[in-house]
Amino acid sequence: MMFLVVLAFFLFLIMGIPISLVLGMTTIMYFLVTGNTMLLESAPQRLYSAMENFGLLAIPLFMLTGELMNSGGITSRLVHFVKKLVGHVQGGLAYVTVLANMFLASILGSANAQAAMMSKVMVPEMEKEGYSREFSAALTLASSIVAPIIPPSMIFIIYGTLSGTSIGALFMAGIIPGIMYGAGFVALIAYLGYKHNFPRSEKASLDQIWKSFIKVLPALLVPVIITVGILSGAFTATESAAVASVIAFIVGMFFYKELEWKTIPAILINTVIGTATVTFLIAMANLFGWMIAFEQIPQSIANWMLSISDNPFVFLLLVNIFLLLIGTILDGIAALIILVPVLMPLVTSFQIDPIHFGVIICINLTIGLLTPPVGTGLFIVSSIAEVKFERLVKSVMPMLLLGIVMLFIITYWEQTTLLIPRLLGF
């Protein structure tokens, strides 16, 4: 019977049905074919209970922050400032793409949203400067994976909610890995720039850089206040999302004066649609996780892994390989919601720090945005940048390999994630 359910799951995926519906349909099919129809009576309660978590409130608020930033001119000023700063060096606009993504990562927290936004802004600019459209699109997509690593991060919020790990600690744990990824992409650009003779932009004067910095200063208040507020205990990680929304509104409306009252309804509608998509997925995944728990699949996987080795290094290697494969067929958030309840008992058995493991699993599943055949980031950027899917996949491969190398460094060097949380007493 279980074989039919698994077969149906993959068949639904191949048919292109949205993953949230696949999870719900597979679970209902399981109840029917196994005769556990009484469980259907409790299904609505399971769907509702998935939403009963204060930490999830941060998701719509950070989405609202991103929408307010876009409409309020914050994003464009961040990109303009970075361009004035480093645009004149060889491959300058490529560096701008990476650094701008790092700045935006400290505010948005969603790789898909960031990839979509930056594709509209940077790909045409880079092509105009002489970069190929394929490379521009690939770099924009690849460097957007720092969004779920540098705080605040939607995927950290979901992991923290599922695992009971401090979201504030996870935010702090993502700082060094985020910087490492940024530095890795910068090094790759330096090599490719030397090899392919990347173009340079006109050098900005110190006066131009200073004026650009003054203009971007209000925008930088968002990540600074979020980080300082969480560290000082002024507000929680969830409450920081509300603070970020208020600051983004004030900056866009009263400092830059690009945010208009007539755009507010559209901003709220986009926020609601984005939030509904994520929360519906979380609810369905919770139902699917209930089925997995009922079948005692977590215990079976735990026993199988423990039978292979009791070494935590081997366990982490197996988990990384498994997650990289899962990332090729499943959306990162869906995979996270399904797998965290399965893997957390193993994390406890192997005495691995849940903060360190949280960063590993979140980075790993974010890399899935770059991996065919179901890498959502590939489809988003391919559509927006008007680049053929197969050419984008080919161009993104060096960056994907770099991302995997950095993942294994972070996996086996736990101080990259735990240094800052431990210094701050988490």
Q: Name the pLDDT band for 108 (thresholds 50, 70, 90).
A: low
Higher pLDDT, 239 or 298: 239
How many residues make up the chain in this entry?
426
395-405: per-residue pLDDT in tens?
889 988 999 99
Whether residue 227 is predicted with pLDDT greater than 80 in this model: the reply is: no
Q: Does 37 fall in a domain?
A: no
Whether residue 11 is predicted with pLDDT greater than 80 in this model: the reply is: yes
Alpha-carbon span 67 to 50, nearest angstrom? 25
Q: Does 7 fall in a domain?
A: no
Do residues 141 and 394 lie in contact, with contact meaning Cβ atoms separated by under 8 Å? Answer: no
Q: Does 24 fall in a domain?
A: yes
Q: Closest by alpha carbon to 28, among 45, 11, 14, 41?
A: 41
Q: Name the pLDDT band for 85 (thresholds 50, 70, 90).
A: confident
Q: Does 9 fall in a domain?
A: no
Alpha-carbon span 264 to 33, nearest angstrom? 48
Q: How far is CA 193 from CA 90, 91, 93, 109, 410, in A?
A: 6, 6, 11, 29, 26
Q: What pLDDT does residue 162 have?
A: 83
Would residue 164 be called left, alpha or beta, if left means φ above 0 and alpha means ψ between -120 and 50 degrees? left
Cis peptide before 354 (omega within 30 of 0): no
Percent of the chain with pLDDT over 90: 8
Q: Closest by alpha carbon to 341, among 374, 296, 408?
A: 296
Alpha-carbon span 383 to 266, nearest angstrom? 22
Listed ranges 284-288, 344-348, 386-390, 402-406; the one with the highest mean pLDDT:
402-406
Q: Does 250 fall in a domain?
A: yes
Q: Does 34 fall in a domain?
A: no
172-187: per-residue pLDDT in tens?
898 899 889 988 988 9
Our count of domains for the chain comes to: 1
Q: Does 327 fall in a domain?
A: yes
Which pTM was predicted? Answer: 0.76
Which range of residues forms the domain containing residue 419?
17-29+49-423
Q: What pLDDT does residue 110 have?
A: 65
Q: Does 307 fall in a domain?
A: yes
Higher pLDDT, 289 or 141: 141
